[in-house]
Amino acid sequence: MRMLWLALRSLRREWHLPELRTLAASLVLAVVALGVVATLAARIERGMLAGAAELIGGDIGVSSPQALPDNYADAARHRGLQIAHSASFPSVAFAGDQTQLLDVLAAGPRYPLRGTLQLGDAAGRSHIGQAPAPGQVYLDHRALVALNLKVGQPLQLGGRELTIAAELQRQPDGGQLLALAPRALMNLADARQAGLLDPGSRARHRLLLAGEPSAVDAWRQQVQASALPQGAQLITPEQTQERMRTSFDRAGAFLRLTALLSALLAGIAIALSAQRYARRKTAEVALLRALGTPRRQVMGLLLGTLGALAIPATALGAALALGLSQLAWLFASTLFGSAPTSLPLAPSFAAAAMGLAVLAGFALPPLARLAEVPPVAVFRQSATRKTRRFDALYLIPVLVALGLIWAQSQSLTLAGILAASLLGVAVVAALLAALMLWLARRVAPGAHPGLRLGLAALARRRTLSLIQATALSLGMCALLLLAIVAPALLQGWRQELPPDTPNWFAMNLQDDQREGFAQALEKIGGEKLNMMPLAVGKLTTINGQPIDQVHFEDERADDRADRQLRLSWADALPPSNQVIAGQWPGPHPAQAEVSVDTTWRDMFALKLGDTLRFDIGEGSIDAKITSIRKVDWSSFRVNFFLMLDPAHAGNLPHTWLASFYLPPGHADGLAQLSRDYGNLSLIDVDSLLDRVREIVDRVGNAVRWILGFSLLAGALVLAAALAASAAERQHEAALLRTLGARRAQLRVAAACEFALLGLIAGLTAALGAAGAGWWLGRAVFHIEHFMPPLVPLTLAAIAAALVVMALGLVGTRKVSRTPPMRLLREG
C-alpha cells in the first residue's frame, strides 16, 4: 500500500518527463490499434453467425445451375417442410437511356422462409413485405439511383416491362457478403416466362426449406444419401458462415497486420522511452541503493510507477478503441449489410491485455537493468554503463513480438511467415536507410554547413536514426501502398486494355439466334463482335480414374472438380493465349483433343498426353491433352481454361457467348435488343469494373484511417527518439552556442537533420511501395510495363521530409534556446 502511494507520488513528480508521456501515448496507441481492429472483426463475425439462417432465407437449401428435379421439393413437402423457389442471375435493366447491370433474384410466392424482406414505399416508409407479384419488381437504392428511377415507375428487365413496386431495403440473400452490382427482386414466374431461366442461362436455381429441425435434418440426410444433380450444392448455414468468413478473413488479415505493425512500432517507442527513463533514473537509483534501499523495493517502486501509468493508459486505449470501432461500424456496416449487432467488449479488453504485454516486453528490460545499478555508481557513473555483448533480457521483446504475431494470425505457420516478412521488410528498410545515410555522408563535405551539421547529428546517433527511419518508413510504406500504388495498379490494369476491348458480353445466345443477333447488333453500332461456343460440363475422370478418388496436392482442385466447367473451342488459338507446350489441335485430329491452361495444369497436376473425360449434357467426351496454354487473364477477352478441338466438340450441346464493343451512348439500342432476345444475359463490363473499383475505394477508405495508426506509431517512435536524445541535444546545442554558433545555424542544422531523416524514411517507403507495386503489377495483375507512379511517390517522400522536419523542429524548439552558460555550470 505504501509502495503504491510512493509510486503514485513519483509518477506525479515525473509526469512532465517527455519519455513518460511518449511511453503512455505509445501504450494508448497500441491498445487502440489492436482494439479497434479486433472489435470490428469480432463484430462482423458475430453478425455473420447471428444471421446465417436469416441470410440464407431458410433453414437449408439446394442451389443448382439447372432447375431442380421435382422430387427434392416433393420430399420436403412430404416431411411437412415449407418450400420456396428462387433463382438469381445478372441482367441489364433499361430505363429511358440508362442501363444498369443488376444482380437479380427471382423469387416465388413464399420467399423468404426465414428472415425478413424489408421494403420501402414511395414515401420512404419501411415495411415488411413479400416477394413481388407478377409484373412488379423491387430495386435497391443503388439501382434506383443508377437508373434515375423512383418507386412507381416502369423499367425494362429481361425484355419485359415491370413496375417498381418498392425499394428493396434488406433481403435474405444466400450469404453474399458483397453484392457486386445493385440488386433487384422480381417475380419468379415473370423470369421464367421471359426465358431468363432457360437451360444454359447463367441463372442459379435455389430451393429453400424451413420447418421443424428434425424434419430438416431428415431431409438433409435423404438428399445427401444420393448424389446431387450435376453442379448442385447444398446451402447450409455453416457453409454460408464459412464462405463469408473466408472473404472477410482476407480483408481482416490485412487490417490485423496493420494493427500489429502499429503495436510493434509503439513497442519500439516504448522501448526507447523506457531506456531514456532508465538512464535518467540511474543516479537516483544508485543513491537509493547507497542509502540502503533493498533492490526489491527499488524494483517495486519502478514497477509501481510504470503500473500507475499503464493502467489508466490501457483503460483510455480500450475506451478509445470502443468509441472508434463504434464509429467505424457506422460507416462500414453498409458494406457488410448484415443484421444489427451489439458492440462486443471482450476484444478491447484483450487489446488492453496485449498492450500491457507490449509494455512489459519492451519496457522491462531497461528497467530491470536499472534495479541492478550498484550503490557504488554514486561515485562513478561509468560503473553502470557496463556493456554486455548479449543480454538475455532483450529476448523478451522478441518473444512478446512473436507472441503478438501469433495471437493476431492464430496460426503458427502464418505467424512464422509474418514474423519473417516483417523482419525482412524491417531489415530491408534499415539497410536502405543506412545506405542513404552513407550516401548523404559521401556528398556532405561540399554541402551547406547547416546540412553538414545536420548530417553529422544523424550520423552521431546512428542507431537511433536508423530505428527512427525504419519505423517511419514502415508506417509510411503501408499507407503509400494503399493510397498511391493500389489505385495506380487498377488504373494501369484498365489502361493496358486497347480502347476497343469488348465492353459487353452477351451470354446464352442460341444457335439459331446468332445471325439475327449479329445483324441487330451491327445496326445499333456494336463492333468487334466475337462469338465463342460454350458448353457446360463436369470433369469426371483423369486417365480413366474418377476424380473423386484422386487426391490432389492443390486445395483448389477439389473445389474445382465439383463445379461446373465451361468449355469452348475454336479453329485458331485465341489472342492473348500462348501455347507453351505441345501443339494447338490441327483441323482433323484423330481423337478428341483438349488444351488446358497453366492454372489447370498446376491444380490437377496434368501433363501432355493425359486423357480427361467430361460429362456434357447427356453425353460425355474423352479428350487427350495435346497443348498447354498460358492465358493473359487480365486481357478482358473471353478466355477459357479448357479448349476442345472444334472437329470433335462441334456437336456437343452448347450456347454462344458473344463479346462486342459498344461505343458509349448506344445503350438505347441495346434495350431493344434485349427485348427481342429475352433469353440473353447482357453484362456490362465497364460497370462491373466500376463496381470493383468502387468496392476497392470503399474498403480502402475504411482501411486507410486504420493505417493512420501505423503512421502515428511511426511518429511516436520519432517522439520517443527525440525524448531519448533531448539531453544530448541540449548539451550539443550549448556547446555549439558557446563556440559561436548562431541560433539560425542550429535551427537550419536541426531542420536539415529531420528533413534528411524524413526524406530517407520517405524514400525508403516510396521505394518499398514502388517495389511492391511493381511486383504486384507483374505477378498479380499481369501488366506488362507497370510503372509505379513515381511522381506521386516522390512527392510523398518530399512531403514526409517536410512533415518529419516540422515535427522535429517542434520537438526540438527549446533546444536551440539552450543558454550557453549551461556548459560552464555542467559537469
Partner 1 sequence: MSDSSHPLVVACDVSKSVVGPEGALDILRGVNLQILPGESFAIVGASGSGKTTLLGLLAGLDTSSSGSIHLDGHALESLDEEARADLRRRLVGFVFQSFHLLPALTAEENVMLPLELEGASDARSRARQALDAVGLTSRRRHYPAQLSGGEQQRVAIARAFVHGPRVLFADEPTGNLDQRTGHHICDLLFALNRDHHTTLVLVTHDAELAARCDRRIELEEGRVVAAGAHS
Q: Which of 426, 736, 757, 793 binds partner 1 (CB under 8 A)?
A: 736
Instruction: For residue 709, give the nearest of 31, 18, 152, 157 by alpha carbon.
Output: 31
| 742 belongs to the binding site for partner 1 (CB under 8 A) | yes
* Shortest Å distance, C-beta 720 to partner 1: 19
What minimum distance in Å lies between the beta carbon of 420 and partner 1? 33
Q: Is 452 in the site for partner 1 (CB under 8 A)?
A: yes
Asked if 498 is part of the footprint of partner 1 (rule: CB under 8 A), the reply reads: no
Any bridge partners for residue 655, and if so which?
A: 534
Q: Which stretch binds partner 1 (CB under 8 A): 351-359, 432-440, 700-708, 737-745?
A: 737-745
DSSP single-letter state for residue 343: P
Residue range at the interface with partner 1 (CB under 8 A); choices 183-191, 251-259, 300-308, 738-746: 738-746
821: contact with partner 1 by CB under 8 A: yes
Specify the residue, 380 or 743, whose C-beta has the smaller distance to partner 1: 743
Comparison of 227 and 824: residue with beta carbon closer to partner 1:
824
Buried b (16+ CB within 10 A) or exposed e, 542-566: beeeebeeeebeeeebeebbbeebe
Under the binding rule (CB under 8 A), the answer on residue 550 touching partner 1 is no
Contact flag: residue 239 with partner 1 (CB under 8 A): no
Q: Which three cell numbers stand for residue 187?
A: 417475380
Stretch that binds partner 1, among 212-220, 587-595, 789-797, 815-823 (CB under 8 A): 815-823
The answer to whether 733 contacts partner 1 (rule: CB under 8 A) is no
Partner residues linked to 129 by β-bridges? 117
- The span of 406-414, 416-424, 445-453, 640-648 binding partner 1 (CB under 8 A) equals 445-453
Check binding of 819 to partner 1 (CB under 8 A): yes
**Span interacting with partner 1, options 85-93, 112-120, 125-133, 452-460, rule CB under 8 A:** 452-460
Q: Can you tell me the distance from the alpha carbon of 215 to that of 220, in angstroms, rounded to the nearest whole number?
A: 8
Report if residue 823 touches partner 1, rule: CB under 8 A: yes
Q: Is the torsion defined by CA of 276, 278, 281, 287 positive or negative? A: negative
Shortest Cβ 816–partner 1 spacing (Å): 11
User: Minimum distance from CB of 436 to partner 1 (Å)?
Assistant: 19
456 binds partner 1 (CB under 8 A): yes
Please tell me whether residue 753 binds partner 1 under the rule CB under 8 A: no
Nearer to partner 1 (CB atom), residue 300 or residue 820: 820
* Residue 619, SS3 per DSSP: strand
How many residues bind partner 1, per CB under 8 A?
Answer: 28
Q: How far is 639 from 629, CA to CA, in rounded Å?
A: 11
* Euclidean distance between CA atoms 817 and 435, whole angstroms: 33
Task: Name the one range near partner 1 by CB under 8 A: 164-172, 297-305, 549-557, 819-827.
Answer: 819-827
Q: How far is the CB of 812 from partner 1 (least distance, A)?
A: 16
Q: Return the C-alpha torsion angle 299, 305, 309, 310, nearest 10.
A: 20
Could you tell me which residues are beta bridge partners of residue 684?
504
Reduce the secondary structure of 220-269 to three states and give it as a string.
Answer: HHHHHHCCCCCCCEEECHHHHHHHHHHHHHHHHHHHHHHHHHHHHHHHHH
Q: Which is nearer to partner 1, 488 or 734 (CB)?
A: 734
Residue 461 makes contact with partner 1 by CB under 8 A: yes
Tell me: does residue 737 bind partner 1 (CB under 8 A). Answer: yes
Alpha carbon of residue 147 to chain centroid: 30
ω into residue 65 within 30 of 0, thus cis? no
Measured between its terminal Cα atoms, the distance across the chain in Å is 38
Is there binding between residue 739 and partner 1 (CB under 8 A)? yes
Shorter beta-carbon distance to partner 1: residue 619 or 819:
819
Residue 752, interface with partner 1 (CB under 8 A)?
Answer: no
Please report how close the Cβ of residue 809 comes to partner 1 at its closest, in angstroms.
Answer: 18
x/- letters, 693..732, toward partner 1 (CB under 8 A): --------------------------------------xx
For partner 1, the closer CB: 16 or 825: 825
Distance, in Å, from the CA atom of 460 to the CA atom of 437, rounded to the nearest integer, reads 11
Among 453, 603, 717, 719, binds partner 1 (CB under 8 A): 453
Cα–Cα distance measured from residue 576 to residue 571, given in angstroms and rounded to the nearest whole number: 15
Site membership for partner 1, residue 9 (CB under 8 A): no
824 binds partner 1 (CB under 8 A): yes
d(C-alpha 80, C-alpha 786), whole Å: 60
- Any contact of residue 740 with partner 1 (CB under 8 A)? yes
Query: Residues 195, 745, 747, 802: which binds partner 1 (CB under 8 A)?
Result: 745
The residue among 295 and 460 lying less far from partner 1, judged by its C-beta, is 460
If one asks whether residue 383 binds partner 1 (CB under 8 A), the answer comes out as: no
Nearest-approach distance from CB 827 to partner 1, in angstroms: 3
CA separation for the pair 591, 612 (Å, rounded): 12
Cβ-defined contacts of 365-368 (< 8 Å, 24+): 365/271, 365/274, 365/391, 365/393, 365/394, 365/396, 365/397, 366/271, 366/274, 366/275, 366/277, 366/278, 367/274, 367/277, 367/278, 367/302, 367/303, 367/306, 368/299, 368/393
Min dist CB 712 to partner 1, Å, is: 29
Alpha carbon distance 650, 423 (integer Å): 56
- What whole-number distance in Å separates Cα of residue 164 and Cα of residue 673? 22
What is the Cα–Cα distance from 112 to 84, expressed in whole angstroms? Answer: 7
Site for partner 1 contains 460 (CB under 8 A):
yes
Candidate ranges 184-192, 247-255, 405-413, 454-462; the one touching partner 1 (CB under 8 A): 454-462
Q: Which runs of E-coded beta strand occur in 573-686?
A: 577-582, 593-597, 611-616, 619-631, 642-644, 655-661, 681-684
Nearest CA to 607 out of 580, 590, 630, 625 is that of 625
**Greatest CA separation for the chain:** 103
Task: Verify binding: residue 276, partner 1, rule CB under 8 A.
Answer: no
441 binding partner 1? (CB under 8 A): no
Residue 472 CB, nearest approach to partner 1 (Å):
21
The interface region with partner 1, picked from 201-209, 309-317, 502-510, 733-741 by CB under 8 A, is 733-741
Nearer to partner 1, 339 or 456 (CB): 456
Give yes or no for residue 412 binding partner 1 (CB under 8 A). Answer: no
Question: Closer to partner 1 at the Cβ: 742 or 813?
Answer: 742
Chain residues binding partner 1 by CB under 8 A are 449, 452-453, 456, 459-461, 731-732, 735-745, 819-821, 823-827
